[in-house]
Structure formats: C-alpha cells, structure tokens
Structure 1
Amino acid sequence: MFDLDLWREIFQSINKNKTRALLSGFTVAFAIMLFTILFGIANGLENTFEKFFVRTAENAVNIRFGTTSKPYKGLQVGRQIMPTSKDLIYLKEEFGDNIEFLSTKLSRNYQIKYKKEKGSYSVSGVSPDYQYIEKAKIKDGRFINLKDIKSKEKLCVIGRLVEEDLFLKESAVGKYIDLEGVQYKVVGVYSDDGGDRQERVVYVPFTTIQRLYFGNDDIGNISLTYNPKMNIDQGLGLVKEMTTKLKNRFEVAPNDQRAIRIGSRALTEKKRLDNISSGLAALIPIIGFGTLIAGILGISNIMIFIVKERTKEIGIRKALGASPKSVVSIILLESILITTITGYIGLLIGVGILEAIGSSLERYFITNPSVNSSILITATIVLIIAGAIAGFVPAKKASKIKPIIALRNG
C-alpha cells in the first residue's frame, strides 16, 4: 500500500541533503549518458555500412574496359578493349561457383517520349541477373528474362520516377514508349533504394541494344556479384585473380591500369568499415559496461557514506520505536528514486547529444547515431538494481546497530 508519509519523508531527506543527492545522481546520470553515446556511435557505424550498400549488392564487382596505356607483346598503345558475349561465357566457366550473378551493361542516354511527355534518361542493356546486382525491386510487372534476351524483343523495365515523369498518374505496364523513334513495350516498373538517379534508368535486353544500335556482339562493361559465402579477403583475392586472367586473355600489360579495371568500391569500403566496426565492437561494450561498473561503484561508495552520515538519525528512529525494516525502506527507496530519476536524465542527455551532433559525424562514417531503447532500458534497470543493492547493504547493517551506540557514534 502507498505510504504518503514515507515518501514525504524521503523527499524531505533529499531536499535537506541536496549536495549528497546531486553527487550520487551525477554518478548515475554520467554513466548512462556515456553508455548511450558510445552505443549510439557504434550503431551509427552500422547504419553507414547499410547505407553504403543500399544501391548495389555488397558483394558487387564491376569490370570496366577502356584503351591500353602501355605497349605489350608488340601491340601498340591506345588499343580499344572490347569484350563480347564469349567473355561472359568465359567468366562463368573459369570462375564457376565463385560468381553468384553476372550481367553485361551497355549504357547511354536517350530521349524518351510518351504522348506529350518526354525526357532524357539513361538506358542500359542488361541481363536478367542485373536485377539482383542493382537490388532493383519490382513494383509492377516483371524484370527482363532469358526469353527476352534470346528473342531480342523491344521491351523495357522502367524506374519508378520514369513512370511518374512520363505517365503521370497512368500505369506504365503494357504501354509503349518512344525511344528515339523506336517503340518499346513497358513490361515492368521497379523501385531502387539507391535514390532518384537509380530510379530514372530504363533497362532493356542487352541483345536488343546490340541488334538495334551496335550491330555487333560487344557487351560494354560487366557487373557481377561473387559468392556471398566468401569473406572480404576471398572476394579481394577473386578480383585480383580476375584481373590477371582477363589481362592475359586480352593481351594487356600487367601494369596497365587503364585498359581493364576490375574493382569494387564496396569491397574496399567494406574491408575498411569492417576493421573499424570490429575494433569498436570489441572496445565499446568494454568501455560501456566499464562505465556502468564505475557508476555502480560510485553509487555504492556514496551510499556507504550516506548511511554512515545518517547513523545518528538511524539511532534516533530506533530509539523512537522504528523497526529495522522501516529504516532500511527509507534509505533503499531514496537510493532507488535518485538512481531512477538521474538515470532517466542521463539517458535524455545522451540521446540529445547524439541528435545534436549526429549530422556532423557523417564525415567520420557515422550515420544517424542512435541506440536501441531495449539496451538503454536494460542499462538503466541494471543501475537501479545496483543503486538498490548499494543502499540496502549498508542500510541493513546500520539497522542492526543499537540506538545507544548509534547516538554515541553519531
């Protein structure tokens, strides 16, 4: 049952001993605040990692072809490297299960019209696998399939914003768009979490691009994803092996950096972020929980001092007939109340600091630093329990002191 007199007495005790209450409260608030900030930074790094890979698969690798910058085996500088469909087959056969998805990418800008609406958009000739490399999500209809590649049909899949730009409030699927005088049937609409630029791309079968605009078997650049079971180091090893073998295949000098460029910004950044995250993943919990332990020790020391300071008061209470239980209750509830209130204040300060400096931390690869509420609640509960124990142990000991001894010592 709620005892109003007991709580009034607790608040009077806190009011009379403001310095003592502030000292014990500051220890708790600082511990929770620091704990919140540290875990918020760790989560911010994870958010950066997820944001970076939202555009394409995290195991994506791009192969770009250009002109040679060094002579090799009697061949002159400036030779154009042009891969064909045979090179796609070569990669599949040579690297087998190490490749998950594989697609060509022939891209250029075209003027596209639908009725009175028109605009310039990037049109990419791709394979069906490109949907998974780019992380395109089908909103309506379907993506390009193998049948489209074989039949070289004039059809396309458009981005969500292309549909909004050209079709306004109409559904695009089943309609025809004019791609510089050639009619293409829209078979699907996709969305892409990578942003507006990714949603203003039109995908068509790469064989259609070859037939209508190139008149040969050139495939442009190549995009792929390696086996997701491979770790980062294995992925980097695969990139190195591909570079060596493709340079040999096209007779390119090993130190020619311009003719064939195989790389993955994702892999490089993932390696760096993983190293940072691994270090912080080990360090932050240690620091965070170390902070909580320091807070617990601080509360314990302060509560021991508080009980000792109130020895005379305890003696008077017992002399007036107060039971040991009531003596313990007052000190215990006071400790829990101070810990709870200041813990919540520390939590609010920590969250407020994260929100205030969050945007400025992006330069350090920390995006939207925040903390899971369950972690904060758990940490606060731990401190409250610690505060209760810290108050209970010395209070229990003091409640057993005889009134005459307590009055003499006080």
Structure 2
Amino acid sequence: MFDLDGWQEIFQSIGKNKLRTVLSGLTITFAIMLFTILLGMGNGLKNTFKSFFSRDAENAIFIMPNNTSKAYRGYQSGRRIEFKNEDVDYILENYDGSIEHIIRRNQRQVDITYKNKKSNYSLISVDPEIQFLERAVPYEGRFINKLDIQKKSKVIVLGRMTKKDIFPSGVSAVGKYVNVAGLAYKVVGVFTDPGGDNEERLNYIPITTAQALYGNNDKVDQINILYNSNLSTGQAIAFGNNLVRDLKDRFDIAPRDQRAIRVINRAEVVQGTKQTSGALDMIVIIISIGTLIAGIVGISNIMIYIVKERTRELGIRKAIGATPSSIIKMIMFESMFITSIAGYLGMLIGIGVLSYAAPGLEKYFIKDPQVDTGIVIFATVLLVISGIIAGYVPARRASKIKPIEALNDA
C-alpha cells in the first residue's frame, strides 16, 4: 500500500478536481444503486410467488366433483358426480404407497353462538389430518383426533378469529359449549393458521359427525390428498394424472371431459412457480449484467479521460523524480478509492430505497424486496477491479511519456 505521502497526494488530487471525482463516482454509485434495486425487486416478486403457496402443504392434491360436460357410455352430459366414503377407500387401496394422508372434506355456512355473541362462519367437516395440509396449529386445547371420528363426537375446533369474535377477551374457549346451527358442540381446541384471519375464521368438526347429523349419508364434497413427499415433481404430477384417469373410469366420465372432476395438483403449481422464478432470475440477471456493463464502460471512459487530462501533471511528476511505477500505483489506488466509496454509497442508497418503498410495493406483488449483500458487494468489487484495470492501461501509457513531451502537451 501507499505510505502517508502517497495517500496525501491522492486526497490532494481529489480535492483539486472535485467535479471530476464526483462525476466518476456518480457512475459507480448509480450502477450499484440500480443493480441493488433491480435485484431486490426481482427477489420481491419471487417472495410473492412463494407466499401464495406457503399457506398449505406443498405436497397436496385437491379433488372436487362437478357436472360432466360430455356424454359418455350412455350417460348424458350435465350429470352430477358425487364422491362417497367408498371412493376414498378405493383411492387408498390403489395408491396407498403414494399417499401420506387422505382427507375427506365437507363445508357449509352456519351461525355459531356463544351466549349473546353470534356470527356466521364456515363449518368444515374433515378428517384429523387436515391440520397437516392447512398447517393449522392448536394454541389452546387440541385438534380433532381419530377417536372423535370413530365416536362421531360433537366436538369443534375454533379458528383463532372465531374465538376472538364470540368469546370475551381473556376467557378460554376450551371446554365451553357453542351453539352451531341449533346444535351444541364442545370446544376442544383453538387453532392458528399461516393463511391469516380468513383461514382462522374456519371451524373444524369430525366429518363422521357431519355425515350423521347433516343428511345421514356418506357424501364427500372434496377429497384432499397429501402425496408421498419423497416423490419428485414429475412423479407427483404423474400420480395425479393417473389418479384422475382412474376416477374418470370409475365414474364413467369421458377421458377428455375436463370439468367433471376438478383437480388442483400442487406439484404442477410448484413446477410452474419454479419456471416463473427461473424466468424472473434470468430477466434480473440480464438487466443487472447490462447495468454493470454500462457502469464498467462508463468508469473506463472516465478513467481514460482523467489520465489524458492529467498528462501535464504526470510529466511534471516525472521531471521531479517520480518513477513510472509510482505514477501507475497512484492512479490505480486513486481509482480504487473512488470506486470503492462510490460503490458502497450506491449499495446503501439502493438498500435504503428498497426499505422505504417496500410497504408500497406489496400492492404491485413485490413482497419483502431484500437483497443478498454478498452479491451486491461482489458487483461492487467487480466495478472496482474494472476501474483499476481501466486506470492501469492509460496510466501505463502516460508513465512512458517523456517529461518534455508531457509538458508541451496542451
């Protein structure tokens, strides 16, 4: 490194040429600032995609019956498909090795009352494994269990917001009885859900209880499956396709009828999300590289101009005894100093802009637009190295000029 005299010369040069220093620094500052903002916004878009699908388990398949849209095997179009418990058994018998959990689900809107507080909520009739799919976590009491299913118990698990709505503050709901559409249910737990307030206004009861009380049948509105998490994305998609094919054959549905059985396979969603994230990464990388290249070209042009402008000064330095190597080192370290400070300032400004704009960006589907400072520092170092190289070439050329020629340079 330079000694104290060397650093004093650098600061004197910067002080005497403030405009030149500011202009060269602004190029680096703007390039790093723009790079940071673009990278942060790209990450924010990816965070938004992830948040859309983080509320439920990723290895989920949702199967919902509907009306047929095509005539097939003597049946007219418009026939209503209905699932029953036996269809769940059929799936388990044929695909047991690919399934971690299978969940029956029915839903209805009901009034839930506790003392003088009443409101309308969704009552979800399910198997206990729904908590793994919905990622619901009891924070009071417990969740529905297998014994509740076997005994067809009149028990209910309230969502956190339901409990907040109808129970007084500070009063535990566990062990209390609530009126659900005219029937008394014992509260055995209260749960939280990462899906937020709307998900926490759902309320769960055993599906066997609902089937016995509301229709006395074995009807199932929806079948949810958590497939084996060891399956690859391709295997999970193939599993879902085979399952739908077999169900269509079981219900005499035309193979090309896309409406009769609606399926949401999270594996397909995950695959699409990965492809979208990959495309976003490519766009951000291309734009970021373009920004850095523009910064490199800018600092290179500025350094060439700066060295040419200082040809007379360099000639005087050589005339009074400065060696070519000392001149080269001075210019290179001055370039490194300016680009380092300017790059760090650009990073701080970029991060500050992202932090300030983050709340307002959420409405544009850009969530938590943060950046990996390591990547930004790498980009800054790249520009610093480019600035050093850009300064070295003209500095080396200038160091070879004879003092008399430099002094005569206009």
Normalised TM-score (structure 2): 0.84
The residue aligned with 1:98 is 98
CA–CA separation in structure 2 for the residues paired with 1:103 and 1:2:
75
CA–CA separation in structure 2 for the residues paired with 1:75 and 1:242:
22
* CA deviation vs aligned residue, 1:272-307 (integer Å, no higher than 9, x gap): 433232233345335424542443344234323322
- 1:401 CA displacement: 5.3
The residue aligned with 2:225 is 224
- 1:321 CA displacement: 5.0
CA–CA separation in structure 1 for the residues paired with 2:330 and 2:84:
83
CA–CA separation in structure 2 for the residues paired with 1:110 and 1:358:
36
- Secondary structure of residue in 2 paired with 1:112: strand
1:281-296 → structure 2 map (5 Å cutoff): 281-296=281-296
Q: Percent identity?
A: 47
- 1:348 CA displacement: 5.6
- 1:43 CA displacement: 1.0
- Secondary structure of residue in 1 paired with 2:17: helix
The residue aligned with 1:10 is 13
- 1:312 CA displacement: 1.2
Moved more, 195-204 or 349-358: 349-358
CA–CA separation in structure 2 for the residues paired with 1:158 and 1:379:
51
Q: Is the contact made by 1:39 and 1:371 (CA closer than 8 Å) also made in structure 2?
A: yes
- 1:209 CA displacement: 1.1
1:53-64 → structure 2 map (5 Å cutoff): 53-64=53-64
CA–CA separation in structure 2 for the residues paired with 1:116 and 1:280:
53
Q: Which amino acid aligns with 2:150?
A: K
CA–CA separation in structure 1 for the residues paired with 2:332 and 2:111:
76
The residue aligned with 1:305 is 305
How many pairs are equivalent? 405
The residue aligned with 2:240 is 239
How has the CA–CA distance of structure 1 residues 138 and 377 changed in structure 2, closer, same or farther, with 3 Å as cutoff? farther
1:270-289 → structure 2 map (5 Å cutoff): 270-289=270-289
- 1:206 CA displacement: 0.8
1:6-405 → structure 2 map (5 Å cutoff): 6=9, 8-15=11-18, 18=19, 20-21=20-21, 23-75=23-75, 79-167=79-167, 168-264=169-265, 266-267=266-267, 269-321=269-321, 327-328=327-328, 330-344=330-344, 346-347=346-347, 350=350, 366-392=366-392, 394-395=394-395, 398-399=398-399, 403-405=403-405
- 1:405 CA displacement: 4.6
Moved more, 111-120 or 377-386: 377-386
* CA deviation vs aligned residue, 1:345-378 (integer Å, no higher than 9, x gap): 5446655776659857966x65454423332233
Q: Is the contact made by 1:336 and 1:388 (CA closer than 8 Å) also made in structure 2?
A: yes
Q: Which amino acid aligns with 1:227?
A: N
How has the CA–CA distance of structure 1 residues 262 and 336 changed in structure 2, closer, same or farther, with 3 Å as cutoff? same
Moved more, 389-398 or 304-313: 389-398
CA–CA separation in structure 2 for the residues paired with 1:11 and 1:388:
16
How has the CA–CA distance of structure 1 residues 279 and 406 changed in structure 2, closer, same or farther, with 3 Å as cutoff? same
- 1:198 CA displacement: 0.7
- 1:53 CA displacement: 0.4
Normalised TM-score (structure 1): 0.84
How has the CA–CA distance of structure 1 residues 339 and 155 changed in structure 2, closer, same or farther, with 3 Å as cutoff? same
Q: Which amino acid aligns with 1:309?
A: E
Q: Which amino acid aligns with 1:211?
A: A
- 1:398 CA displacement: 4.2
Query: Could you say what the CA RMSD is over the residues aligned between the two structures, in angstroms?
Result: 3.3
Q: Is the contact made by 2:358 and 2:368 (CA closer than 8 Å) also made in structure 1?
A: no
Q: Which amino acid aligns with 1:53?
A: F
Q: Which amino acid aligns with 1:11?
A: I
- 1:313 CA displacement: 0.3
* CA deviation vs aligned residue, 1:377-403 (integer Å, no higher than 9, x gap): 332233234334443564466456554
Structure 2, unpaired ranges of 5+: none
- Secondary structure of residue in 2 paired with 1:383: helix
- 1:326 CA displacement: 6.3
How has the CA–CA distance of structure 1 residues 321 and 161 changed in structure 2, closer, same or farther, with 3 Å as cutoff? same
- Secondary structure of residue in 2 paired with 1:86: helix
- 1:269 CA displacement: 4.5
How has the CA–CA distance of structure 1 residues 140 and 357 changed in structure 2, closer, same or farther, with 3 Å as cutoff? closer
Q: Which amino acid aligns with 2:224?
A: S
CA–CA separation in structure 2 for the residues paired with 1:126 and 1:279:
38
CA–CA separation in structure 2 for the residues paired with 1:74 and 1:170:
59
- Secondary structure of residue in 2 paired with 1:138: strand
How has the CA–CA distance of structure 1 residues 12 and 67 changed in structure 2, closer, same or farther, with 3 Å as cutoff? closer
* CA deviation vs aligned residue, 1:232-280 (integer Å, no higher than 9, x gap): 444333333222211221223334444322234x555444433232233
Q: Is the contact made by 1:327 and 1:395 (CA closer than 8 Å) also made in structure 2?
A: yes
How has the CA–CA distance of structure 1 residues 304 and 75 changed in structure 2, closer, same or farther, with 3 Å as cutoff? closer
